[in-house]
Amino acid sequence: MQKSYHVFKEDEMKIMYDIKSGNFIEIKCAVKDYDIFYETNLKNIPEKRDSFACEGKRLGRISFVTTECCNLSCKYCFAESGTYHSTERKVMSVDTMKKSFEYVCSKYENGVNLVHFFGGEPMLGYESIREFIMWCNRYCKENGIVAPNYSIVTNGTIMNENMFDFLNAYKVNLVVSIDGTKELNDYARVSNTFKSVYDKIYENFKNLPVERNFKIGCEITLNHIHILKFKKGIVREWLDELCSIGFNYATIGVAETPVQECHISADEKEILQSIEKEIIDYFFQRYRSSNDFISVEIMSLIRQMAQKGKSLTCGAGYHSISVMPDGKILPCYQFYHDDNFVMGDINGGNSECFEEIRELFKKDYRADIKECRDCWLRNQCTVHCKGFSYNSTGKLDSIAKTRCWLVEAAMQRLMFNILKLKKEKEEYNNFVINLYALNKEYSYNK
């Protein structure tokens, strides 16, 4: 029989977590019987209610795979160096972008919260992006729709002053893929035409003004080089260097790849979790003292802790959709190689598949995964990605274990930091107020 609680230790603090309610408490004294301690302190707290995948009249996100080409050849890229196995240098036309947005508006009368440009390297299709954004703002105004937010994921190597001026004028947020210091980044993120990807990024971003109308995030993909270079305390150095470039926030993931040079094995789980715990400590402290460089993941995890409902599964297919350069609609670009998941085509055809695939992806497959059913974080976890799972195992109802290791380490360390901070009442209250304001500032909901 499964326990209703989970006990773990962080540093010298022993913590009990109530699986049903999501509440947690420090065990301050010697406890002989955890069952009695649980009954006394946590059992009667209302449990998290079930959450259901539902939709409103506004889609969460549409991702345009703007290009099926890239100027880099990153070792762990799921899309075969950004080509999606295409032999052509495909760039999405502005006409395809317009048709895609109109198609979304025909399905969701209030439009979409976020238009997300992805690749490949999307800035190779910059002219299409620029023309579309200007058109989209006009279209929304003419049709009484709240215009979306815009974001671009880029490798940062081909940015120029004109591009930055446009981003600033239209408030287009940027996410730069960079894995840390020069040594860490240039291990897996490589070019066939220039020596250092890190140096290119640094040169392009070092002189941007602090006061601007758009945010710049950095997307760090932990891989085998981070395992090899880790030693206690070094994560602060890695993150401080990224902060010095001028990034506003960081998102951190792990390479899901069969490429051995980048793959993180089960034997390296402990080191990966140590890295993640240092990341949590670093950003938790920054939330207390500064807002100039923050972690989106921490906001997301704490928000889930505070919610009364259980966490939802990956939103692919119903909260977000992707469009390929040829107009093919997918639940997520991770499914680019499998026509079984095509939801339709903005140029016509297969429109009945849209509803069918959307319903398929609304299902919470975690209920079918034994590892999820047995996990003490099953009501809190936000990292089940159908795309990563399918690409790793060929099944939607499976897990990518490295993501599980990360979220376990993150949640344990977050609980530890929160319990420690609660001992300083004024500091804790200021932390909550600051976090609330930042959550509002970084939300794409309109």
The order of strands in the sheet holding 172-177 is 294-295, 249-254, 216-222, 172-177, 149-154, 112-118, 59-65, 320-323, 328-330, 344-345
Query: Stretch 406-420: mean pLDDT, rounded?
Result: 96
In the block, tokens 């947020």 appear at 173
Query: Stretch 140-147: mean pLDDT, rounded?
Result: 97
**Sign of dihedral through CA atoms 407, 409, 413, 415?**
positive
- Of these ranges, 135-149, 284-298, 355-369, the one predicted with the greatest mean pLDDT is 135-149
Structure confidence by residue, pLDDT tens digits, 151-171 = 999 999 999 999 999 999 999
Structure confidence by residue, pLDDT tens digits, 175-232 = 999 999 999 999 999 999 999 999 999 999 998 988 999 999 999 999 999 999 999 9
Of the chain, the percentage scoring pLDDT greater than 90 comes to 72
Q: What band does 32 get if pLDDT is binned at 50, 70 and 90?
A: confident
Q: What are phi and psi of 178, to 5 degrees?
A: -155, 130
Q: Supply the pLDDT for residue 328.
A: 95
Are 241 and 217 within 8 A, CB to CB? no
Structure confidence by residue, pLDDT tens digits, 40-97 = 999 889 888 876 666 689 999 999 999 999 999 999 999 999 999 998 899 999 999 9
Of 156-170, 248-262, 302-316, the least confident? 302-316
Are 358 and 318 within 8 A, CB to CB? yes
Calculate the average pLDDT of the chain: 93
- Name 173's bridge partners: 151
**Is residue 350 over pLDDT 70?**
no
Are 197 and 190 within 8 A, CB to CB? yes
Q: Supply the pLDDT for residue 266.
A: 96
**Is residue 29 over pLDDT 90?**
no
Q: Supply the pLDDT for residue 53.
A: 60
Q: What band does 391 get if pLDDT is binned at 50, 70 and 90?
A: confident
279: Cβ–Cβ under 8 A, 6 or more apart, which residues?
235, 239, 252, 295, 410
Q: Supply the pLDDT for residue 52.
A: 60
> Is 63 or 301 the better-scoring residue by pLDDT?
63
**Sign of dihedral through CA atoms 180, 333, 72, 75?**
positive
Cα 367 to Cα 321: distance, rounded to the nearest angstrom: 23
Q: Supply the pLDDT for residue 149.
A: 97
Q: Supply the pLDDT for residue 310.
A: 80
**pTM for the structure as a whole:** 0.94
CA atoms within a 13 Å half-sphere pointing along the CA-CB vector of 420: 15
Q: What band does 284 get if pLDDT is binned at 50, 70 and 90?
A: very high
Q: Supply the pLDDT for residue 300.
A: 87
Query: Stretch 225-254: mean pLDDT, rounded?
Result: 96
**Is residue 336 over pLDDT 80?**
yes
Burial zone of 290 (CB within 10 Å; 0-12 exposed, 13-18 middle, 19+ buried): exposed
| DSSP collapsed to 3 states, the chain | CCCCEEEEEECCEEEEEECCCCCEEECCCCCCCHHHHHHHHCCCCCCCECCCCCCCCCEEEEEEECEECCCCCCCCCCCCCCCCCCCCCEECCHHHHHHHHHHHHHHCCCCEEEEEEECCCHHHHHHHHHHHHHHHHHHHHHCCCCCCEEEEEECCCCCCHHHHHHHHHHCEEEEEECCCCHHHHHHHCCCCCCCCHHHHHHHHHCCCCCCCCCCEEEEEEECHHHHHHCCCCHHHHHHHHHHHHCCCEEEEEECCCCCCCCCCCHHHHHHHHHHHHHHHHHHHHHHHHCCCCEEHHHHHHHHHHHCCECCCCCCECCCEEEECCCCEEECCHHHCCCHHHCCEECCCCCCHHHHHHHHHHHCCHHHHCHHHHCCCCCCCCCCCCHHHHHHHHCCCCCCCHHHHHHHHHHHHHHHHHHHHHCCCHHHHHHHHHHHHHHHHHCCCCC
- The amino acid occupying position 364 is D
The order of strands in the sheet holding 5-10 is 5-10, 13-18, 24-26
